[in-house]
Structure 1
Amino acid sequence: MAKLSRRKIAELWAEELLKGRDITGNIAAYLVTERRVDETDLIVRDTESALAARGVVVADLTSANGLSSESRAAIEKFLIVSMNAKKVAFREATDPSVIAGVRVETAGQQLDATLRTRLNQLKASKI
């Protein structure tokens, strides 16, 4: 069997997800069988890029205490407009070290509006 490229795997995975079929287990089994587990992070990133090209943005949100539904809706609206997306899917995480604010990461882009980052920038400017 010919080795599938990372991008081909990502394109296939994105297409199946958009059809409502989750083939994550199949992808994982293929990577284990082909001894390509070390490529997992790259394939996930490529899949997120393939989804973004089809109008579906996957965004990682990190905040200190979780986000309100209003904040999530505002971030979704911002991403739809700024990335010309049709749909946004969120993965949320809490990290008390960010203190306040939010970090939004999508395929290839990051918006860091956390208090931790602002404090570090202020410290670095030595005002």
Structure 2
Amino acid sequence: MSNLTLAKRYAISLFDLATEKNEVQAVENDLRELKIVWNGIKDVKTLFTSPKLSINKKKELIRQIFANANPIVINTLLVLIDKNRLADVSDIISEFMILSNEAQGVAEAKVYTTRPLTEEERTNISSVFAKNVGKQSLNIQNIVDPSIIGGIRIQIGNRIYDSTLITKLDRLKRNLIG
């Protein structure tokens, strides 16, 4: 069985439990923070996936580090330690986010601009482009990229809406050169 299939199973179980306890948003918030720590600090991932550290020590560290996290998240991490699946944390979180977004009618979007978006711009982009993909709103990750010169590029799933100046110039160049 592939790691992604297992990650989906864990994510479904986690989502079902969070839904049953009416704590989906709290669990989602904690999982977002966990993903930042897990993927952002290489030593954390290395430490918890190391076979040199005992299972009991890993559990003790999880309880200490994530003491303020939702108990559902902590218990999930403890189960993953028992099943030797802690390396799959990122995939499980990603799958959970997909389930949560689907339930809430939200889509993840990467928005590339030359400068940070204002809150009003985020709201406008969300309301316009969410309708294009059949969602109620977008969860926007703003990526500042000065190389696009001007305009905006939006990636929602596998759809890309590109009205950047660099793309328009490239298109013009291709048309002129033939």
Q: Under TM normalisation by the shorter chain, which class is it?
A: 0.5 to 0.7
Q: Distance in 2 between matches of 1:42 and 1:122?
A: 43
The equivalent residue for 2:112 is: 62
User: Percent identical across equivalent pairs?
Assistant: 19
Partner residue of 2:102 out of 45, 53, 57 = 53
State yes or no: 1:109 paired with 2:159: yes
Greater Rg over alpha carbons, structure: 2
TM-score by length of 2: 0.52
SS state at 1:122 partner: helix
Instruction: Name segments (4+ residues, structure 1) moved above 6 Å.
Output: none
Q: Distance in 2 between matches of 1:48 and 1:114?
A: 29
State yes or no: 1:19 paired with 2:54: no
Q: Deviations over 1:36-66 (max 9, x none)?
A: 46x947973x555434432111111110112
Unaligned runs of 5+ residues in structure 2 are 35-72
Q: CA deviation at 1:76?
A: 0.9
The equivalent residue for 2:40 is: none
Q: CA deviation at 1:88?
A: 2.2
Q: CA deviation at 1:67?
A: 2.3
TM-score by length of 1: 0.68
Q: CA deviation at 1:111?
A: 1.0
State yes or no: 1:34 paired with 2:85: yes
Q: CA deviation at 1:78?
A: 1.1
Larger fraction in helix? 2
Q: CA contact under 8 A between 2:113 and 2:148: conserved in structure 1?
A: yes
Larger fraction in strand? 1
Q: Deviations over 1:100-120 (max 9, x none)?
A: 111111222211111111111
Q: Distance in 1 between matches of 2:156 and 2:14?
A: 18
**Paired residue total:** 122
SS state at 2:117 partner: coil
